Structure 1
Amino acid sequence: MATAQETGPRTDIGTAPGEQVPGARLDRIRKLLAKAERAGTPDEAEIYTDKAFALMARHGIDEALLAAAPGAGARADPIGRSRITVDNPYSGAKARLLGWTASALRCRWVMHDQRGGSVAAVTVFGFAADRERVELLYTSLLLQATAALAAVRPPDPGESVAAYRRSWIYGFAGRVYERLCAAERSALGETEAETGRAAASTELVLADRGAEVDRAYDAEFGRLRRARRPQVSGSGFRHGAAAADRADLGGPVLDHRAGAPGIGA
C-alpha cells in the first residue's frame, strides 16, 4: 500500500546562472560526510556537518538556477522518481527521516507499506539534482543515526528500549528537517550576496520548479491518501533531536529550545 507524504514535520541558498557547477563539489560533500561518519567526537562531526550541508544547500540552488538559465533546454535535470528501500527495525521512523529530508530539499515522497505495518520503501519524486542530494544525504544520516542508536538506552529502566529508540529517530529526523530548511534559507541569502541576483528572483525560480514537481506528482500520485501523523510513545525524542544537532548536515546548529516538530511524542 502506498501512502502520500506531502511535507516534512510541522515546524514554525554560488555560482552565477549559466556557469558550470564544479563537478568536484559532490565529491567534496561525500568526503565531508564520510569524515563525519568516522568522527571521534560530536564536536568534530559538527565541524564536518557545517561544511557539508552548506555545500549541499548551495549546490541545490545553483543547479536550479543553471537549469532555468536561457539556453539550458538540453540540460539534463528531469523530474523523476527514486525508490529507496527502508529496512527494519524502526522502518516507519527511518521512512520519515528519508521523507522529511526529501521535503526539505524540495522533493515529494510516497511511503510504501507492507503487511504487518512496517514500511518497505519510500519513493522520492522530484528533479534529478534534488533526488541525488536526498539519496546522498539520507545514506549518511542513516549511518550516523544507526551508529548513535546502538549506544542509547532509556533513562528509565522500566521504559521499552524499542519505544525509546523509535522516538529517538523521530526526534533526530525532525531536527534534521529544521536544520536542512535553515541551510536552504542561508544559501539563498549567499546566492544573492555573491551573484548580485535578487533573492526574490531566485525564490521565483525555486517556486516554479516546485510547482512543476507538484503537477507531475499529482498526475502520478494525486489519488493517494494522506498518511496519519505518527504517534510516538517513547521518551527519546529530545535526545534524538540533540543528536541531530551534531549530525553531519553542514547547516547551522539549532537551539534545543526551538519549536519541536509537530509529531505525536
Structure 2
Amino acid sequence: MNDIVERACAAALYAQDDAGLDTGASLLAADPAAWPGVGRALLARGATYVRQAWERGWQPADVLRLVRRDLAERHVRLAEDLFAAEARRYARLPARWPAYEAWWAVGGAPGAGDTAATGDDAYAEAVARREKADRFTLATAVLELLRLLVRLPSIEPVGPVPGDPADVPEAAHIEPRMLGRIRALLAKAEATSYPEEAEALSAKAQELMARHTVDEAVLVARGEGPARTPGARRIGVEPPYEEAKAVLLDAVATANHCRAVWNGAFEFSTVVGFESDLEAVELLHTSLLVQGTAAMTRAEAAQRSGGRKRTKTFRQSFFLAYASRLGHRLTETAEHAAGAAGADGAAEGSLLPALVARDVAVDSRAEEMFPRTTTTRLRGATDLAGWTDGTAAADAARMGGGGRTHRPLPK
C-alpha cells in the first residue's frame, strides 16, 4: 500500500498543474480490496505532513482557515481527521491547542489512545460513509488536502508544538470572575439595538481590561508577582473588508499594550503581548466586529429606505471609518483608565515605569519575531455616506469619554 500511495503522491502533490490529481486518485481508488490499506497509509502520511506544518509554525486554526478558503468543507473535515490522527502521539497538547475528536467520530474507529492497525484500516470505509462519496472522489479530496499541506511555507511560531519538552511557564490569564464579567458586558453590547447602551457596556468592558493590565504591571514591578514574558497568538482577519478589519484589530491591540502584524496572504494577524492582554484583544476585537456589522446593516437599511442603493464601496467606507474612529476612542479609554489608576495612592509612583517596561518588552518581542515588516496602502474610502455612518457607529461604540472630533473623508 505504501508503494501505491507513494506513486500517487509523486504524481499529484508536486506538479504545477492539476493534471496529476486524476492520475494519483486513479491509482489510489483502482483496487477495492486495497482501499482499507490505502486509507491507513494516507492517514499516516497525512499525519506526517500535519506534524511538518506544526514544525513550520502553523497551528490548527491557521491551516483550517486556508483549507476553508482554498478548498471545501469536506477538506476541512478531512484535515481534522489528520489533526486527530497526529495528536494521538501525545499525552497532552499545548494550551489553546484544540483536542480534535473528529477522527474518532467517523465511525468504526477505535477508542482514543488505541493505535491498533485494524482501527486505522477501518478509517477509509468509515470516512466514505461519512462523506457519502466514492473512492475516486475521496482520493482526489485527500490529495488536494495533502498538496496544500506540503506547500505551506514556514511562518513565525507563536507557541510550542505538541510534544515540545520545553518547560513553558504558565501564562497569567485574566482572573476568571473578571473574564466572566467582561464577556457578559460585551455580549449585552452586541445584543442591544440601542447605541447608547452598547457604548456604556463596551466602555465598562474596556475599563475592566485596562485596569487589569495596570494592576498586573504594578504587581510585577513591585516584585509581588512572577516575571512574565510576552507571547503571541494569531487572530483571523478574513474577507470581506479585511483591510478595515486589520486596522480595527491593530487599534484594539495598541490600546491594550499589544502589537499586531497583519499577513493578508494567509488572512490572519499575529498579535504580540502578555497573555491577559491578548485575551482582552481577542474578546474586544470580536465584539466590535459584531457591533460594527450590526451597525452597518442598520445603516444600509436606512439608506435603502431613503431610496439610495448601497454598494460595496459604502460597506468598505463604513468599516474603514468605523476602524479609524475606534482607534481614537480606544486610546482615549486606555489613557483615562491609566490616569485613574495613577491617581490611586496604591499605584502612584510605580504605574508609569511598570507600563513602560511592559510596552518595551512587547516591542522587543515583536521586533524579534518580525524583523522585517512593510506598510500597506489601504484602498481609499470613496463613499461619503458610508464614511459618515461608520464614524457615527464608532462613536456609538466608543470605549471611553472625551470630546468628539471627526476625521475628514480620505481623498
TM (norm. structure 1) is 0.79
**1:260 corresponding residue in structure 2:** 407
Do the aligned partners of 1:160 and 1:234 also contact (CA within 8 Å) in 2? no
Do the aligned partners of 2:257 and 2:277 also contact (CA within 8 Å) in 1? yes
Q: What is the DSSP-based 3-state SS (H/G/I as helix, E as strand, rest coil) of the residue aligned with 1:151? A: helix
- Aligned mates of 1:104, 1:121 — CA distance in 2: 19
**2:374 corresponding residue in structure 1:** 225
Q: 1:42 to 1:120 in 2, by over 3 A?
A: same
Paired amino acid for 1:142: L
Match for residue 251 of structure 1 among 400, 403, 406: 400
Q: 1:23 to 1:160 in 2, by over 3 A?
A: closer
Written as runs of structure 1 = structure 2, the 5 A alignment for 1:112-131 is 112-114=263-265, 120-131=267-278
Paired residue total: 236
Do the aligned partners of 2:251 and 2:330 also contact (CA within 8 Å) in 1? no
Residue 142 in structure 1 maps to residue 289 in structure 2:
yes
CA shift digits 1:99-155 (9 cap, x unpaired): 2211221211111122xxxx7111111111211110010011111111122232358
Q: 1:230 to 1:60 in 2, by over 3 A?
A: farther
**2:197 corresponding residue in structure 1:** 44
Q: 1:42 to 1:71 in 2, by over 3 A?
A: closer
**1:11 corresponding residue in structure 2:** none
Do the aligned partners of 1:230 and 1:264 also contact (CA within 8 Å) in 2? no
- Aligned mates of 2:402, 2:291 — CA distance in 1: 16
Q: 1:212 to 1:234 in 2, by over 3 A?
A: same
Written as runs of structure 1 = structure 2, the 5 A alignment for 1:55-204 is 55-73=208-226, 77-114=228-265, 120-153=267-300, 161-198=311-348, 201-204=350-353
Do the aligned partners of 1:245 and 1:253 also contact (CA within 8 Å) in 2? no
Q: Give the superposition deviation at 1:241.
A: 1.5
Q: Work out which structure has the larger RCO, using CA pairs closer than 8 Å and 6 or more positions apart in sequence.
A: 1
Q: What is the DSSP-based 3-state SS (H/G/I as helix, E as strand, rest coil) of the residue aligned with 1:194? A: coil
CA RMSD between the two structures: 2.7
Paired amino acid for 1:222: P
Unmatched 5+ residue regions in structure 1? 2-20
Paired amino acid for 2:260: W
Q: Percent identity?
A: 37
Normalized per residue, the structure richer in strand is 1
Q: Give the superposition deviation at 1:251.
A: 1.8
Do the aligned partners of 1:81 and 1:123 also contact (CA within 8 Å) in 2? yes
- Aligned mates of 1:157, 1:170 — CA distance in 2: 24
Report the more deviating stretch, 207-216 or 225-234.
225-234
Q: What is the DSSP-based 3-state SS (H/G/I as helix, E as strand, rest coil) of the residue aligned with 2:299? A: coil
TM (norm. structure 2) is 0.52
Do the aligned partners of 2:330 and 2:400 also contact (CA within 8 Å) in 1? yes
- Aligned mates of 1:96, 1:215 — CA distance in 2: 22
Paired amino acid for 2:242: S
Paired amino acid for 1:28: R
Q: What is the DSSP-based 3-state SS (H/G/I as helix, E as strand, rest coil) of the residue aligned with 1:174? A: helix
Residue 34 in structure 1 maps to residue 180 in structure 2:
no
Bigger radius of gyration among the two: 2
Normalized per residue, the structure richer in helix is 2
Match for residue 215 of structure 1 among 357, 364, 375: 364
CA shift digits 1:182-216 (9 cap, x unpaired): 11111112112233433x63122111111111112
- Aligned mates of 2:187, 2:389 — CA distance in 1: 23
